[in-house]
Amino acid sequence: MLTHLIGTSVSASWLILAVLLLRAVCKKIPRAMICLLWGLAALRLVCPFSIQSPLSLVPDAGPIAERIVSAAEPVSAPPTAPEANVAPAAPVSPAEEAVETASAPPDVHSYATAVWLAGVALLLAYWVAGYLRVRRTVAASARIKGNIWICDWIDSPFILGVIRPKIYLPSSMDNEQFSYVLAHEHAHLARRDHWWKPLGFAILAVYWFAPLVWAAYILFCRDIELACDEHVARGMGRWERKRYSETLLSCSVARPSPSVCPVSFGALGLKERIRAVLRYRNPEPWAVLAACAVGVLLAVCFLTDRPASASPDKAEAPAASPAVHRLVQTPPSPSPAPVTPEPSPRPQPTKGEVLAARKKALEGMTQEQIDRLTSVITSQNQWWEREYLSNILTRLDDPEDLAWNYFDQTGDIDVGTGVGWSDETGLTGDERVALMEREGITVDEFFEKYGTETPSPSPTTANTP
């Protein structure tokens, strides 16, 4: 799950960066449109599936997330080559097993998940504590009318509540300030900001490890205030905008914090809000249309993912080469048993058999377990490849060598003569050379006569043609 969250946060970071750039460059775009773009970023973070589009500019975040998680995991030592005639291991006592378990490397992924859950719990606790603190503060409020309440213990107006929100006003305000503040708070209620701000904080609690998500939430809280200011300032004259700015200044909070509740009148970005109100001009129609076009463009390019060229689950499983089959054969015994020739070589598994075996092996495994298993198999195969090539390539330098002739005739590498293990015939390379010398045949005649299987060696001496 943590790997999925990291990948989602990386993918959403591209959209957040695009919104940050647009917010900094295009000053004439209405803040209500910027809030909608923040909503697209939130949708990217909470959407459980992705939409494929060839126009997407978001790179694949899966490998990045896997590298972040796997970078902290301990690297296991490569497997050692099998040895012949190895005595069975002695039984392990319970005490020794306990010591080995205690000395095993820690599961870094489990620790990271525990840290992430602790961060989520801490932010949710901060959420609940802030809400309860404000509830205690306004417990002695008096109702004026409808959902409007007045309180002596607050310095700035705000909205509290999600299902049945209430507007709380400080008792020190005059009648003119009441009208401006109520217009601002009703704009919040009309835009459902008392829903979107807690939802944004919940998303932040889940993705607390992503710095760009923090930046997006803080700027979102400022933009919803600016959007309501623009809504109130629409149609105001210069003098009324000045009085509204004075109301903002008188209701400002000394040290605001981006909390989940409440939706406060003078909470964030006071200097930016006053400047925006004093300089406000009704947006031109072309600016609104351009903002809509930019929103659609960002959604198409950053709310989608590139179509995968080939999914790992649907990719065709390559047929195993004969060299791989010979690689896993057991080492030869001191006196190999005679091998009876077969009319045809060992059949290779079909594509359907390989996919069926893979599906059965992965039953009950999560995607995270499959990814970790793939990583381990990849590291082991790299070790086998190094051992394999270091032993066989030295034999291919000599054109007179049997391994070179086998490769030249069949296009395959004879592992049996390269690393000293038995091939499908059950004979080592030296024994096969001795057999050809006894019968007096060449390599080409050997494969033409016996194919990949060799009959039992004759007890007589070398035959002459």
Predicted confidence at residue 321, as pLDDT, reads 47
75, 293, 449 from 442: Cα distances, Å: 48, 77, 10
In a domain, 239, yes or no: no
Predicted confidence at residue 386, as pLDDT, reads 60
Predicted confidence at residue 429, as pLDDT, reads 66
In a domain, 256, yes or no: no
Residue numbers of the domain that contains 406? 322-450
Predicted confidence at residue 445, as pLDDT, reads 76
pLDDT single digits (tens) 366-421 = 888 777 777 767 666 665 556 655 555 555 556 666 665 665 666 555 544 433 33
Cis ω on the peptide bond leading into residue 258 (within 30° of 0)? no
Angstrom distance (rounded) from CA 9 to CA 99: 40
In a domain, 412, yes or no: yes
- What residues in the chain have per-residue pLDDT under 70? 61-106, 253-268, 308-349, 351, 354, 376, 378-429, 447-448, 450-465
Encoding tokens for residue 307?
Answer: 């179509």
Predicted confidence at residue 415, as pLDDT, reads 47
In a domain, 115, yes or no: no
Phi/psi at 57 (5° precision):
-105, 5
Domain count, the chain: 1
Predicted confidence at residue 27, as pLDDT, reads 79
Predicted confidence at residue 310, as pLDDT, reads 41
Angstrom distance (rounded) from CA 21 to CA 13: 12
Angstrom distance (rounded) from CA 219 to CA 230: 16
Q: Are 417 and 391 in contact (CB under 8 A)?
A: no
In a domain, 127, yes or no: no
How many residues make up the chain in this entry? 465
Predicted confidence at residue 305, as pLDDT, reads 86
Predicted confidence at residue 41, as pLDDT, reads 93
How far the first Cα of the chain sits from its last, in Å, is: 71
125, 396, 427, 436 from 422: Cα distances, Å: 66, 18, 6, 17
In a domain, 13, yes or no: no
In a domain, 54, yes or no: no
pTM, entire model: 0.58
